[in-house]
Amino acid sequence: MKKIIYIDMDNVLVDFKSGIAKLDSDTLEAYEGKLDEVPDIFSLMEPFPHAIESIHKLAECYDLYILSTAPWLNPSAWIHKLEWVQKYFGKEKDSLFYKRLIISHNKNLNTGHYLIDDRPNNGAKDFKGEWIHFGSTEFPNWHSVTEYLLLETK
């Protein structure tokens, strides 16, 4: 049986800054300090560098799920996260993340072996498996994460 990996979206799978870069200055000013509440912001975001090809590699040896948090005060983000996953990975039954998108503010409640997340927030630091701290010195990018996880299967 394959081991389970949960993958965070913002700044792991999704390049949050790529969406911010597309906002005009008025919007940036109005939402300073709470940019994740900008309406439609998630639909503007592009994949994090090397995320897509890394996911496809990992999918050969692991059971993958997306485990993300959507802002409580930005309902459109909940919709756009689903649409983002469908845009980049497909929406058909045989697509990689078909019915495998979990939105949670309590990531510690999910059972599995690994969680790839850039922040300790929303239960990530209390995850019962191994928290792979994306962006840390140990796991600065998708290359280091993929290399580590593929070695773990040997």
Residues that bind Mg ion (CB under 5 A): 8, 10-11, 118
Going by the DSSP 8-state scheme, the letter that residue 152 receives in this structure is H
Shortest Cβ 17–Mg ion spacing (Å):
12
Structure tokens of 86? 């469908």
Are residues 69 and 122 in contact, defined by beta-carbon separation less than 8 angstroms?
yes
Shortest Cβ 51–Mg ion spacing (Å):
12
Active site annotation includes 40: no
Antiparallel, parallel or unpaired: β 62-68 and 101-103: parallel
d(CA 152, CA 141): 17
CA 71 to the chain's CA centroid = 14
Active site annotation includes 36: no
Query: Which one, 50 or 61, has the nearer CB to Mg ion?
Result: 50
Query: Which one, 61 or 78, has the nearer CB to Mg ion?
Result: 78
Residue nearest to Mg ion (CB): 10
Residues labelled as active-site residues: 8, 10
